Structure 1
Amino acid sequence: MARKTDARARAIATAERLFRIQGYAATGLSQIIEESGSPKGSFYFHFPRGKTQLAEETIDLYLANRAAAFRHISASTTGDAPNFFNQIFAAIAAEMIASDFQYGCLMQNLVSEMSVLDAELTKRVASGFVELTGIIAEHLRGCGFAPARASSSAAALVAAIEGARTIARVERAPAIFEALADIFCQRGL
């Protein structure tokens, strides 16, 4: 009987944490292997293409988790754009606080290093932003926003989230999320 381990899942979780804290280029495979506790042979069994394959799978899992979180918030705020905005900003602020303001967005961190990334990683990151923007736009259409307004508001929300993460990391405070929630709710972007 084959032995089951969680080495693959630990490697992905470790890569996500490190990529979000220190970026792709600054994160070495030896650090991921050491911190995940994965044996080197096991690592290459699960990720025969090495760091690039690990990054691809990390992006995929990160996006699946983000999409699920956005869909959950959407389902709990049907027809209520202000509450949707509040919950999105509150969830991200809570995550930032829980990480002691160390975690950036995985996709944003990778995008800032695009010259390092290969075409497949670039494609995955771009698709991720499109998917999350689409989830938000769909929710806003359900709140009565015209399609063009829903799309532009969704794009503005994603851009605001990404910028707010950076500011929150620098300030080590969640105030920017509260300010954005106030603006998005009052103006109904």
Structure 2
Amino acid sequence: MARRTEARAHAIATAERLFRIQGYTATGLTQILTESGAPKGSFYFHFPRGKAQLAEETIDQYVTRRIAVLSEISANTAGDAPSFVEKVFATFAAEMVASNFEYGCLMQNLANELPALDAELTRRVARGFVDSTEVIANHFRGCGFTPARASSTAAALVAALEGARTVARLERTPAIFEALAEVSLHRCAASEG
């Protein structure tokens, strides 16, 4: 039983890594099987609908982790919008550096390929952005932002983070995260003032 669970977890971890580096369409099932070490029969036991089901479950786990990270940052910076913004940008920048600037955002990579994806994948990606943006908006509401201002600031922060990943991958430096954190801090100061 532990082996089955291990094979499933390896397949999901491998799919996430490959989707984040090269995208969904460019990642073939054969590559996932080879790199995860999963036998084909075991793979289809865990993912009877194949690559699409694997992608769905990979998105779900990725979003769960992303929300947990954002929630932890929020809890550690309760009531402090500037510290929250700084910590979010620093955390995302550190992840980029740790991956040697190879990893994009799983949801962003898949969203860029939406015409090639099925409706369920599209729905999950969209839901992932909505749910993680809401965690950020909740933090800003807890800092005294009006609901409308909290939502717009959260949406802007998410867009900035996703764009920063793209620029950081191209430039191979986290400098864009620092620049956007500074701009975002000015927005937070204006929101609080």
Q: TM-score, normalised by structure 1?
A: 0.97
* 3-state DSSP of counterpart to 2:159: helix
What CA deviation, in whole Å up to 9, does each residue of 1:12-64 have, x standing for no partner?
00000000000000000000000001111100100000000000000000000
- Does 2:135 align with 1:151? no
Residue 27 of structure 1 aligns with an amino acid whose one-letter code is: T
What CA deviation, in whole Å up to 9, does each residue of 1:116-168 have, x standing for no partner?
10000000000011001100000000001000000000000000001000000
The aligned residue for residue 179 of structure 2 is: 179
Distance across 1 between alignment mates of 2:90 and 2:3:
38
- 1:182 CA drift (Å): 1.0
Task: Choose between structure 1 and 2: higher helix proportion.
Answer: 2
Distance across 2 between alignment mates of 1:178 and 1:4:
43
The aligned residue for residue 113 of structure 2 is: 113
Cα distance change of structure 1 residues 179 and 41 upon mapping to structure 2, 3 Å threshold: same
The aligned residue for residue 34 of structure 1 is: 34
- Does 2:24 align with 1:24? yes
Residue 145 of structure 1 aligns with an amino acid whose one-letter code is: F
Number of residue pairs the alignment of both structures matches:
188
What RMSD, in angstroms, separates the aligned Cα atoms of the two structures?
0.9
Distance across 2 between alignment mates of 1:79 and 1:3:
43
What CA deviation, in whole Å up to 9, does each residue of 1:68-124 have, x standing for no partner?
000000000000000000000000000000000000000000011011100000000
Where in structure 2 are the equivalents of 1:72-111 lying within 5 Å? 72-111=72-111
Residue 101 of structure 2 aligns with an amino acid whose one-letter code is: F
Residue 132 of structure 1 aligns with an amino acid whose one-letter code is: S
Gaps of 5+ in 2: none
Q: TM-score, normalised by structure 2?
A: 0.95
- 1:3 CA drift (Å): 5.8
Residue 157 of structure 1 aligns with an amino acid whose one-letter code is: L
Runs (4+) of structure 1 exceeding 6 A deviation are none
Residue 4 of structure 1 aligns with an amino acid whose one-letter code is: R
* 3-state DSSP of counterpart to 1:103: coil
- 1:184 CA drift (Å): 1.1
* 3-state DSSP of counterpart to 1:173: coil
Distance across 1 between alignment mates of 2:122 and 2:186:
35
